[in-house]
Amino acid sequence: MARADTHGAQQESIAQATAMLQAFFSAPNSFVVQTAEQKVPARTAPAENVQTVPAPLLGAIQYYAGGGADRSILIPFRRPDGDAPVVWYACAHDELAMRALSAELGAFVGPSYADFERMDLAVDTADQVVVPILKKAGLRHLRFLSIRKAYDAQVIKQWEMYWDLIARRPKRAVAQPRNFAQLRADFDRALIAKNEVDAMSTMAALREQHGLSLENRAFLEIRLAAALGRWSAITGHRLLSRLVQLRVPPETFGDIQEALYEVHLRMDEQATNASHLLQSYRDDVMPIIAPLQGRGGASRRPAVRKMQLLHELVQGTPSAAMCLDLLNEVSSSSFGAAGPDIQSRVKSLQPRSGFKEAEHEMSLARYEQAYLLLWPLNDNAEVLGALLRCACELGDAVRATAVSQRVLQSPAGVSVQNGEYLPLLRDVQKLAAPVLEVESWQGRLSEPASDTGSGKGVVERWRETVRSLDAREALKEHGFAAAMAQQIEELVIEYPLSFEVLYPLWFEWVIERCPPDSRFASVYAALIEALFARDRFGDSDLELMRQSAMHLVHAGPTPAQYKTLIDRLVSVFETARSPSGVGWGLEVADGLAVAPCRDVESRTRWLSLMVQAGIEFQARLRAPQRLLLEMLASEAGVVLPASAVTPSEHKVDEGVLLRRRILLYSLDVQAVQRAALILRQMFPNANVESNVDEVCTPRLKSASGSADWIVFVAAVATHQAFFCIKGALRQDAKLLQVEGTGTTRIVDRVVKETAGFASAASSDTVSSR
Query: Do β-strands 661-665 and 687-691 pair in parallel, antiparallel, or remain unpaired?
Result: parallel
Q: Tell me how far the alpha carbon of residue 313 is from its chain's centroid.
A: 36
Angstrom distance (rounded) from CA 459 to CA 447 = 11
Sign of the C-alpha dihedral computed for residues 647, 648, 653 and 654 taken in this order: positive
User: Is 569 strand, coil or helix?
Assistant: helix
Residue 415: Cβ within 10 Å count = 15
Give SS3 for 316: coil
Residue from 117, 110, 136, 119 nearest 21 by CA:
136
Here the contacts of 688-692 (C-beta below 8 Å, separation 24 or greater) are 688/662, 688/664, 689/661, 689/662, 689/663, 689/664, 690/663, 690/664, 690/665, 690/666, 691/663, 691/664, 691/665, 692/665, 692/666, 692/667
DSSP state of 89: E
Question: What is the pLDDT at residue 228?
Answer: 85
Query: What span, in angstroms and rounded, lies between the C-alpha atoms of 427 and 394?
Result: 12
Q: Which long-range contacts (CB under 8 A, 24 or more apart) does 641-647 make?
A: 641/615, 643/615, 643/618, 644/614, 644/615, 644/618
User: Rounded distance, CA 499 to CA 101, Å?
Assistant: 28
* Residue closest to 106 by CA, chosen among 25, 31, 162: 162
Of 683, 324, 261, nearest in space to 675 by CA: 683
Cβ pair 657, 753 in contact under 8 A: no
CB within 8 Å of 382: residues ≥ 6 apart: 355
Strands 51-52 and 73-77: unpaired
Q: What is the largest CA-CA distance in the chain?
A: 99
Note the helical H segments in 364-508: 367-374, 381-394, 397-409, 413-418, 422-431, 441-446, 456-468, 480-494, 496-507
- Domains of the chain with CATH codes: 2-168 (no CATH), 353-432 (no CATH), 440-644 (1.25.40), 652-768 (3.40.50.10850)
Q: Is the peptide bond before 177 cis (omega within 30 degrees of 0)?
A: no
CA 610 to chain centre: 27
What pLDDT was estimated at residue 312?
86
DSSP per residue, 526-552: HHHHHHHHHT---HHHHHHHHHHHHHH
**Cα 308 to Cα 294, 296, 600, distances in angstroms:** 9, 8, 53
| Phi, psi (rounded to 5 degrees) for 612 | -60, -45
Contact 355, 326 (CB under 8 A): no
Q: Give the three-class secondary structure for 51.
A: strand
Asked if residue 122 lies in contact with residue 85, where contact means CB atoms within 8 angstroms, the answer is: yes
Strand partners, 737: 712
Nearest to 297, CA basis, from 202, 371, 209, 186: 371
Distances (CA, A) of 299 to 252, 262, 595: 10, 17, 37
Question: How many beta carbons lie within 10 A of that of residue 638, not counting itself?
Answer: 14
How distant is the alpha carbon of residue 607 from its chain centre? Answer: 29
Q: Specify the pLDDT at position 134.
A: 92
Other beta carbons within 10 Å of 733? 18
326-338 CB burial, b ≥16 within 10 A, e <16: bbeebebebbbeb
Q: What pTM, to 2 d.p., does this model score?
A: 0.59
pLDDT at 650: 45
The model's pLDDT over 160-219, given as tens digits with 9 standing for 90+, comes to 888 888 877 655 444 454 678 888 888 888 888 888 888 888 888 888 777 778 888 888
DSSP code of 332?
G
| pLDDT for position 24 | 92
Angle ∠(61,66,68) on CA atoms, nearest 5: 80
The pLDDT mean for the chain works out to: 80
3-state secondary structure of 364: coil
| Secondary structure percentages of the chain, helix, strand, coil, to 5 | 65, 5, 25
Give the three-state DSSP class for 52. Answer: strand
pLDDT averaged over consecutive 10-residue blocks of the chain (769 residues)? 57 86 89 62 54 89 85 89 84 84 82 78 84 90 87 89 78 56 85 85 83 84 89 88 81 87 86 88 85 63 86 84 82 84 80 73 83 84 87 82 86 77 83 55 65 59 78 86 87 80 88 88 90 77 89 90 91 83 88 86 89 83 82 79 56 52 86 85 84 84 88 78 83 84 82 63 41
Q: Residue count of the chain, please give it.
A: 769
SS3 label, residue 90: strand
Q: For 199-215, what is each residue's pLDDT tens digit? A: 888 888 888 777 778 88
- Looking at residue 643, its pLDDT comes to 61
Rounded Cα distance, 216 and 222, in Å: 10
Q: Which residues contact 453 (CB under 8 A, 6 or more apart)?
A: 179, 181, 495, 497, 498, 500, 501
Q: Is the peptide bond before 557 cis (omega within 30 degrees of 0)?
A: no
